[in-house]
């Protein structure tokens, strides 16, 4: 799944902080794959100033991130909880749509 820096950080910040040991293991693995690594931090010129994070135009382009079905399901469930509690933002909605998109429907509609 292609995700840009903003989408990746949105998903990391959406992950539950509590759960079973199995859930925590899954979350730990997701954080490792979602957080930009050292090479990406340099390439995308990621900088944090206070609570604000910035990156260059390259960081706005999608990078292939592999997520298992279990990981996707966990993210979708976390996003649904934000929706139910009326705490979802536009960023949450955009990654939710990406995670739940049906590739076959998108191909028929002429989308990639």
* pTM exceeds 0.85 for this model: no
Please report whether residue 38 resides in a domain.
Answer: yes
For the segment 61-90, what is each residue's pLDDT rounded down to a tens digit?
A: 999 999 999 999 999 999 999 999 999 999
For the segment 30-72, what is each residue's pLDDT rounded down to a tens digit?
A: 999 999 999 999 999 999 999 899 999 999 999 999 999 999 9
Tell me how many domains the chain contains: 1
For the segment 1-22, what is each residue's pLDDT rounded down to a tens digit?
A: 999 999 999 999 999 999 999 9
For the segment 93-110, what is each residue's pLDDT rounded down to a tens digit?
A: 999 999 998 554 444 344
Q: List the one residue out of 25, 58, 27, 23 whose CA is nearest residue 40.
A: 58
Give the CA distances from residue 8 to residues 43, 70, 76, 107, in Å, rounded to whole numbers and listed in that order: 16, 17, 14, 24
Please report whether residue 112 resides in a domain.
Answer: no
Report the C-alpha gap between 83 and 11 in whole angstroms.
Answer: 14
Please report whether residue 65 resides in a domain.
Answer: yes
Please report whether residue 18 resides in a domain.
Answer: yes
Burial letters for 40-56: b for 16+ Cβ neighbours within 10 Å, e otherwise? beeebebeeeeeeeebe
Please report whether residue 110 resides in a domain.
Answer: no
Which domain covers residue 65, as residue numbers?
Answer: 2-104
Please report whether residue 69 resides in a domain.
Answer: yes
Q: What is the pLDDT of residue 102?
A: 59
Please report whether residue 54 resides in a domain.
Answer: yes
């Amino acid at each position: 799944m292609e995700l840009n820096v903003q989408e990746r950080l949105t998903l990391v910040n959406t992950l539950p902080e509590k759960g079973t040991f199995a859930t925590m293991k899954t979350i730990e693995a997701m954080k490792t794959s979602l957080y930009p690594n050292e090479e990406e931090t340099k390439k995308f010129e990621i900088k944090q100033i206070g609570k604000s994070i910035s990156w260059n135009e390259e960081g706005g382009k999608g990078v292939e991130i592999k997520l298992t079905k279990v990981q996707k399901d966990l993210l979708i469930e976390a996003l649904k909880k934000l929706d139910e509690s009326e705490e979802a933002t536009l960023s949450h909605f955009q990654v939710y749509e990406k995670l739940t998109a049906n590739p076959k429907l998108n191909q028929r509609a002429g989308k990639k």
